[in-house]
Amino acid sequence: MSISKSKSIAFAETFTKHGGFFVYNASRKEASSSLRDMLQVKKSVDCICMDYESEQTLLSVDPRWPIRRSYLERASCVLTACSSLIVEGGMVLLDESKGKLLGLPTMPDMLIIVAFHNQCVSLDDSDFEEPKPNSFLMDLSGGKALMEFGFSNIYLSHIPKEVYLFFIDEAN
């Protein structure tokens, strides 16, 4: 098993242990299909896209399914990309532009994150970059992982009821 595979497995185990839903996809095409299927089951057709990557993912969903970008008051889910998946703690780092999530007056009950295999990092990696102050780091453990790993100035104001991570096993 390669190092990156073991990192992604370790991340998935921790992320799901804390209540997240990890959705493995071998390709972007598979991710598009599984996203469409999940949104159909959830009857979620109104989504807010927080960045270009998530918008492209949403646009690639089967056009026959009426998923649309929405206004805050109608949205049933938020779709966003991430910067890194931190193995320790199963935390998701969203870059500064994703801080727009903090500006939402309310968070819909469902958050969908798009991530790629090469975004899995360990705190021990030589190329690991510390999150910047006031970065948006999602910790589904309720803050325990943030404290355990010394991330005191990094936050998330609200965790939705359901958090899905659509993991794409190809380069972004």
Would you give the distance in Å from CA 72 to the centre of its chain? 19
pLDDT of residue 3: 47
pLDDT of residue 138: 83
pLDDT tens digit sequence for 13-42: 999 999 999 999 999 889 888 888 888 888
* Dist CA 34 CA 120 (whole Å): 21
**CATH tag, 3-168:** 3.40.50.10420
* Dist CA 139 CA 59 (whole Å): 28
pLDDT of residue 81: 85
CA of 74: how far to CAs of 33, 77, 130, in Å? 23, 9, 36
* Dist CA 124 CA 163 (whole Å): 26
Mean pLDDT by 10 residues, the chain (172 residues): 71 94 92 85 75 72 57 75 90 69 71 90 85 78 84 66 91 62
* Torsion sign, CA atoms 171, 42, 18, 135: positive
Q: Where are the domains of the chain?
A: 3-168
What is the model's pTM?
Answer: 0.84
* Dist CA 166 CA 100 (whole Å): 20
Partners of 136 in the β-ladder: 94, 155
* Dist CA 37 CA 82 (whole Å): 22
Partners of 167 in the β-ladder: 24, 115
Contact indicator for 91, 137 with CB cutoff of 8 Å: yes
